[in-house]
Amino acid sequence: MPVWNYSGVRGNGERTRGLVDADSLSSARQKLRKEGILPLTLEAHSGGGEKSGAEMTPRGGGRRPSGHDLSVFTRQMSILVGAGVPIVEALGAVLDQGPDTPMARVASRIRDLVKEGRPLSAAMGTLPAVFSGIYLNMVRAGEESGTLEIMLDRLADLMEKQVGTRRKVMGALFYPLLLMGVGLLMVVFLLLVVMPRITAVFEGLKATLPLPTRILMGSSRWLNDHLVLAGGGAGLFVLLVLRAIRNHRGTLDRMVLSLPKVGALLLSGQVARFSRTLGVLLASGAPLQKAMEVSEAVVTSGPVREAVVRAREEIAEGRALSQSLKDSKIFPPLAIHMIAVGERTGKLEELLLKVAQGYESEVDQTVATLTSLIEPVMILFIGGLVLFMVLSVLLPIFEMSQAVS
Rounded (to 5) percent helix, strand, coil in the chain: 70, 5, 20
With a threshold of 0.75, does the pTM exceed it?
Answer: no
Same domain, 9 and 152: yes
- Residue 284 pLDDT > 80: no
- pLDDT classification of 98: cutoffs 50, 70, 90: low
Query: Where does a domain end: 156, 172, 204?
Result: 156
**CATH no. for residue 109?**
1.20.81.30
Same domain, 152 and 20: yes
- pLDDT classification of 248: cutoffs 50, 70, 90: low
- Residue 52 pLDDT > 60: no
- List, as own/partner pairs, every contact residues 11-19 make where C-beta atoms lie below 8 angstroms and the sequence separation is at least 24, other chains included: 11/36, 16/96, 17/96, 17/98, 17/99, 18/92, 18/95, 18/96, 18/98, 18/99, 18/104, 18/108, 19/45, 19/95, 19/99, 19/104, 19/105, 19/108
- Quote the pLDDT of residue 63: 60
Q: How many CB atoms lie within 10 A of CB 82?
A: 14
- Quote the pLDDT of residue 206: 65
Same domain, 7 and 121: yes
Closest residue by Cα to residue 217 from 229, 232, 201, 233: 201
Over residues 141-154, the mean pLDDT reads 80
- Quote the pLDDT of residue 108: 82
- Quote the pLDDT of residue 185: 84
Whole-angstrom Cα distance, residue 275 to residue 332?
12
Query: Where does a domain end: 117, 132, 156?
Result: 156
Chain-centroid distance of CA 166 in Å reads 6
Is residue 249 in some structural domain?
A: no
Query: Where does a domain end: 94, 126, 156?
Result: 156
Cα 338–314–353 angle (5° rounding)? 25
**Average pLDDT of the chain to the nearest whole number:** 78
Could you give the number of structural domains in the chain?
Answer: 2
Environment class of 23 (CB within 10 Å of its CB; exposed 0-12, middle 13-18, buried 19+): exposed
Is residue 266 in some structural domain?
A: yes
Is residue 110 in some structural domain?
A: yes
Closest residue by Cα to residue 107 from 55, 65, 140: 65
Whole-angstrom Cα distance, residue 86 to residue 91?
9
Share of the chain above pLDDT 70, in %: 84
- Quote the pLDDT of residue 57: 43
Is residue 253 in some structural domain?
A: no
Over residues 21-44, the mean pLDDT reads 74
Closest residue by Cα to residue 338 from 354, 362, 318, 359: 354
The residue range of the domain holding 81 is: 3-156
E-strand stretches of 222-275: none
- Residue 105 pLDDT > 80: no
Is residue 197 in some structural domain?
A: no
- Residue 184 pLDDT > 50: yes
- pLDDT classification of 395: cutoffs 50, 70, 90: confident
- pLDDT classification of 59: cutoffs 50, 70, 90: very low
Chain-centroid distance of CA 113 in Å reads 29
Per-residue DSSP letters for 303-357? Answer: HHHHHHHHHHHHHHTT--HHHHHHHHT-S-HHHHHHHHHHHHHT-HHHHHHHHHH
Q: Please give the backbone phi and psi of residue 63, each rounded to the nearest 5 degrees, phi first.
A: -135, 160
Same domain, 10 and 148: yes
- pLDDT classification of 55: cutoffs 50, 70, 90: very low
Whole-angstrom Cα distance, residue 95 to residue 106?
9
Whole-angstrom Cα distance, residue 164 to residue 172?
12
- Residue 120 pLDDT > 50: yes
Is residue 320 in some structural domain?
A: yes
Is residue 233 in some structural domain?
A: no
Closest residue by Cα to residue 128 from 115, 119, 117, 137: 137
Is residue 235 in some structural domain?
A: no
**Which SS3 state, helix, strand or coil, does residue 280 take?**
helix
